[in-house]
Amino acid sequence: MNGEGGPAGGLREESDPALAERIDRVLDDYVGGSIVGAVVTVARDGKIAYRRAAGHADRESGRAMTADTPFRLASVTKPYVTVAALALVDRGILELDAPISRWLPAFRPRHDGAEATITLRHLLSHTSGLGYGFFQKADGPYLAAGISDGIDRPGFDLAENLRRLAGVPLNFAPGSAWLYSLATDVLGAVLEAATGRPLAEVVRDQVTGPLGLTGTGFHAAEPDALATAYADAPGGPARMDDPHAVPFGEGGAIRFAPSRAGDPAAYPSGGAGMVGTPGDFLALLEALRTGGAPVLRPETVAALTTNTVGTMAEQGIGAGWGFGLGVAVLVDPAAAATPQAAGTWRWGGVYGHNWFVDPAAGLVVTTFTNTAVSGMNGPVREAVRDAVYGAG
C-alpha cells in the first residue's frame, strides 16, 4: 500500500455550488469540534459534485487533512473482502450456500450443544450466529476467550482467533436472526483456504488490482502518513493511546490498537484490517453502482444490495433497514426517517467513517474522519446526508 489513492477514482469534477455551500456549513460546524479531520466526497451520476478535506490529519503536529490522506478503514474493509468473495462465487470457486466447513474443516462452532452449519451466505448476511466482543460487557464470553475483534494487536494469528471463536457457543442458530459480527474475518479465512493464497493477495487480484486502486491494502508501508486516530472524550476528541478502549453500547468497549496498521506481522482481518484512501473507496462504490464491472456481474451486485433478511436487521440497524450480502439496505424510507430512496445501501467503520449509495439518485457519498466513533454514527452522519439532499 503506497499511500496514494488517486483522484477519487478518476471521476470528472462537476461542482455544485449550492451543494458545496450546504456541506461546507456542516463541516465548519463539526470539524474542529467533535471531529478532528474529515474528507467528504459526493459523486452524482459518475461525476464529482463535491469534495473537501477539512481539519487535521494530525492535530498535534498541525498536519492538514488532504483528499488523498490514507485512513485506517475498520469496517470499510468489509466491502473489499465481500466483493472479493462474490468475485470468487462468480468464478465458481466458492458457493453461497455451501457449508464453510468445506474450506475450514476445523471451524465448527456449536449452538444448543450441537454442531451448527454455517454457509457463505450466512457469513455475508451476518446471520451466522457469530458476534463481536465490543457488543459484550467486560465479563462477556468473547473477552473471556480472548477473541480479537480485528482492530487490536492480540499477539496471535487468524487461525488461533478462529479456534477461540469456534469454542464459544453461537448466539443463535444460523439463519434465524441477524447480528453484526466477526463473520467477515471468518470469510477472509475461507478466501485464503479456497485459493491457497494470503487474503491480501486475493483482495488485490479480485478487487483493487482490476480497479487500479493503489492506495488500499492490509499494511501501511508508511504508517506516519495515515490520519492519526482520535477518540471521543468528554473534553473533545483525544489522541488515541495504543491500546485504547472506547466505550460502546451497553457496557461494551471497542478496543483499538492504532499501531496494528503498521505491523506487517498482524493477521489480515477481513472485517477491519485494511488501510486506504477515500478516492479508492469511492471508485469501488462507483463500480458497484454502475453494475460491477470489472469485478462483479450485475446479477451479483443486485444480490449484494438486495435485502435478504426480512426485518431481522431492524433491531441492530433501525426501523426501515434490511441487510443484503454485506451492506445495509433501505427498505422503507418513511420508517427510517431518511430522505434517501428505497434501495439505498450503506455502512461505516468504527475509526470514524460512514458512506452510502443511493442508486435512484445516482449518488455515492463518503465521509472519512479520524474520530471514533462520532465520525461513524454521530450527528455528523445525518447532517452530511441531509445536506446532500437539501433536507432539514
Residues with a catalytic annotation lie at 75
Angle at 91 between CA 127 and CA 100, to 5 degrees: 35
Rg of the chain on CA atoms, in Å: 19
Residue bearing cell 434465524: 176
- The β-bridge partners of 247 are 253
Q: Which residue has the cell 490529519?
A: 57
Packed helices 77-90 and 278-289: angle between N→C axes, nearest 10 degrees? 40
Give dist(CA 185, CA 78) in Å, integer. Answer: 9
Distance CA 371, CA 276 (A): 16
C-alpha cell at 272: 477491519
C-beta separation of 198 from 138 below 8 A: no
DSSP classification of residue 341: P
**To which residue does cell 487535521 refer?**
56
Alpha carbon distance 317, 246 (integer Å):
20
354 touches 328 (CB < 8 A): no
The torsion defined by the Cα of 370, 353, 379 and 63, in degrees rounded to 10, comes to 20
Within 13 Å and on the Cβ side, how many CA atoms surround 10? Answer: 6
Pairing of strands 321-323, 275-276: unpaired
- The number of C-alpha atoms within 13 Å of 217 and in the hemisphere containing its C-beta is 24
Using alpha carbons, list the distances in angstroms from residue 355 to 121, 262, 283: 23, 25, 13
| 8 A C-beta contact, residue 204 and residue 219 | no
